[in-house]
């Protein structure tokens, strides 16, 4: 008998355009960020081939893209905290969320900068 001990869905390099940055030139237009998510789900879900039995990653990506696209954050740290809370609101079967937000072109001589946060649902 097999017992599932860890069930995760991942979304990689989700491209989202949003207003992000502290400088006027950064805030004058939307910039692309890349978002990586690892979402741990409650044990025992998705044992069937029915989409209703799991968290739909396409829905998560769409809702997160819509939400982030409406934000006007100064810091990617702030945006990441808000995004994690938004993901938890989507489904009570989400146990934990790890998010990485990458902003390119914000550091000379580097590809960019990223922030990574991990949260557990506390009930």
pLDDT attached to residue 4:
66
**What single string gives the DSSP state of each residue in 25-91?**
HHHTS-EEEEEEEEEEE-TT---SS-GGGS--HHHHHHHHHHHHHH-EES-HHHHHHHHHHHHHHH-
Say if CB 103 and CB 75 are below 8 A apart.
no
Confidence at 122, pLDDT banded by 50, 70, 90:
confident
Task: State the number of CA atoms in the 13 A half-sphere of 61 facing the CB.
Answer: 15
Q: What is the pTM of this model?
A: 0.89
Domains of the chain: 8-44+54-120 (3.30.1130.10)
pLDDT attached to residue 123:
65
The residue to which tokens 């030139």 are assigned:
25
For residue range 35-55, what is the model confidence (pLDDT) as tens digits?
999 999 987 776 677 777 788
- Tokens representing 75 are 């810091």
Taking all residues of the chain, what is their mean pLDDT, rounded to a whole number?
92
120: left (phi over 0), alpha (psi -120 to 50) or beta: beta
pLDDT attached to residue 3:
66
């Amino acid at each position: 008998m097999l017992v599932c001990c860890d069930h995760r869905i991942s979304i990689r390099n989700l491209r989202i355009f949003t207003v992000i940055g502290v400088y006027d030139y950064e805030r004058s237009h939307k910039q692309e960020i890349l978002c990586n998510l690892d979402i741990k789900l409650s044990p025992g879900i998705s044992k069937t081939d029915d989409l209703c039995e799991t968290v739909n990653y396409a829905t998560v990506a769409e809702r997160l893209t819509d939400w982030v696209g409406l934000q006007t954050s100064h810091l990617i740290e702030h945006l990441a905290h808000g995004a994690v809370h938004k993901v938890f609101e989507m489904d009570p079967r989400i146990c934990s969320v790890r998010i990485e937000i990458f902003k390119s072109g914000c550091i000379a001589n580097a590809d960019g900068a990223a922030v990574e946060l991990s949260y557990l649902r506390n009930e």
